[in-house]
């Protein structure tokens, strides 16, 4: 939710430096909070294999980041910053729905 709020703020106030700074801080806070909680989850799979699990987790994390960068560039090329913000909020909402569906 913090990530989506950060993108909303950076989208609404994209023409101000303060809006971008606040948006980026919220996005970073949300991403790093999610990373910590996700690592706790995957480490609980097998406490004896934390190094291997972390290696696989981080590989997926960076591959996802590379894919997100590629898609973000395409969105920016097609629709500018507004397109990136809309795509990002959509992906955050999709991850929220998928996460909630997996918990049930």
List, for residues 1-41, the tens digit of each pLDDT value. 899 999 999 999 988 999 999 999 999 999 999 989 888 88
For range 65-86, the mean pLDDT: 95
The predicted pLDDT at position 11 comes to 92
Cα distances (Å, whole numbers) of residue 95 to 4, 20, 62, 92, 98 = 11, 23, 17, 5, 5
Is a pLDDT exceeding 80 seen at residue 103?
Answer: no
Identify which of 79, 78, 81, 40 has the alpha carbon closest to the alpha carbon of residue 57: 40
Cβ atoms < 10 Å from Cβ of 54:
14
Q: What is the pLDDT of residues 35-61, one digit of tens each?
A: 898 888 888 888 888 889 989 999 999
Q: Give the pLDDT confidence score for residue 63 in this predicted structure.
A: 97
The Cα 73–Cα 57 span in angstroms is 24
Q: Rounded to an integer, what distance in angstroms lies between the CA atom of residue 53 and that of residue 50?
A: 5
Write down the pLDDT at residue 67: 96
pTM over 0.85: no
């Amino acid at each position: 939710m913090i990530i989506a709020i950060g993108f909303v703020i950076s989208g609404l106030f994209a023409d101000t430096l303060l809006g971008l700074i606040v948006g980026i801080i919220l996005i970073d806070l949300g991403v790093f909070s999610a990373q910590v909680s996700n690592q706790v989850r995957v480490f609980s799979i097998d406490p004896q294999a934390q190094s291997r699990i972390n290696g696989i987790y981080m590989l997926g994390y960076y591959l996802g980041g590379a894919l997100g960068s590629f898609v973000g560039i395409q969105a920016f090329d097609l629709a500018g910053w507004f397109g990136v913000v809309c795509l990002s909020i959509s992906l955050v909402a999709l991850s929220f729905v998928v996460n909630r569906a997996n918990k049930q």
